[in-house]
Structure 1
Amino acid sequence: MSVTNASTSAGTGKGTGSGPTGADGTKGPIVNAAPTVFINLYCTIVVRSHVPVVLDLKNPNYTKWLSFFRTMCGKFGLLHHIDDSALANLDDPNWVQADYSVKRWILGSDNKESCAIFLSNQFHSLVQGKLSVSDYCQCIKALADSLRDVGHAVRDSQLTLNLLRGLNPRYSNTADDIANVTPFPTFAQARSMLALKELRLATLYSTL
């Protein structure tokens, strides 16, 4: 849902024809009306009015907090922005605006420790599902970057382990191979090995 910014609603589109005639009879430049700007309602909400629970490390209440947070996202049609299996649509300005709004709710509504609880849960429960290897790795890296920003950096070995944990079962053999490599592969190395396996599987299925 969106509302139109009042400061721009006076214009109805681009101007047509010539501009105003000056005192000397010459035509002035054509002045186009400003484009209409849409402001999504969820960009201006106060999170605490929808999520009255503050995450607390000393009094674990993540489940209760998440219930309120999911309800708020559902109210504004934004559940797919906290669904790890949903694909990002970075080419859609509306999707990007919504995604930044949800991130602001998570990172800006409570203290860093509260944010870390939520992000850590998201990180350790992430699974590949139907995501490509590239998109799955991007999701893992984005969550790790967010954890770093709130003071809980993720080691590279943890990235690799979490990558293997949530893989689609069709990569189970490759995951075993990666886990048995010495020294333990970096996240970038594991991603490359899985991308190669994905390419081979795609080639195999295309010939069947």
Structure 2
Amino acid sequence: MADTKFHPAMAVSNIKNHIPIVLEMETDHYSAWAELFKLHARSHRVLSHILPTGKEKAPSTDEEKELWSTLDATVLQWVYATISTDLLHTIIEEDLSAKEAWDRLRNLFQDNKNSRAVALEHDFSHVKLRDFPNASAYCQRLKTLADQLKSVGAPVTDNRLVLQLVAGLTEAYKNVGTYIRQSKPLPSFSEARSSLCLEEKALAEMHDDSPTAMVANSQREFDDSTPWMILLIFCGLSLWLENRMFTLNS
């Protein structure tokens, strides 16, 4: 067995650089978090510490046992560092192994799938563009909910994701919504998202070029220059009065 200092898992100084998602019960990014975690564990040769296949050779020598214990503690630290404080207090326990922590998180997020699916389905069906600052945030919320539904065994088809995107649009996006809905076949979600973002940009540019906006800009420019104009008129009037008084006195 190679010395512990040469194991790739030991070279990870900040796990959050590799797994930027912080797992929280409220946001439920479990599927994405778990996939990133497994990918990282596999690339650093410690996947068996959370997902053993049963074919692993049990450590026999003291050196092998020490290495296994060190690596398991390292993986457990990765778990703890990438979950919320509430989840940490929920699963933490003395002498917990990395696999036990992994299993507890999986059970927390995948138990009661039917109840979670009902709640997520309600949220998914009621997402509206008006509740978000821009089209990108709106689309991201739809995609996140679709991913969460998939993780509880209720996957959303791409066509349904596109139709839900259209259903939640505001009146200002009626034209692009009609275009997407009437396309045969329906565009993919990524294509529909791009169309919506382009429409948002076009509407913003139209607003900037509208007569109302131009009048407002002109009014603002006039307002900014008004004090100078008054001063110039006052100075001119003063000079005229002085000349007039000089003429009369003469």
Give the number of the structure whose residues are more often helix, by fraction. 2
TM-score by length of 1: 0.48
Structure with bigger gyration radius? 2
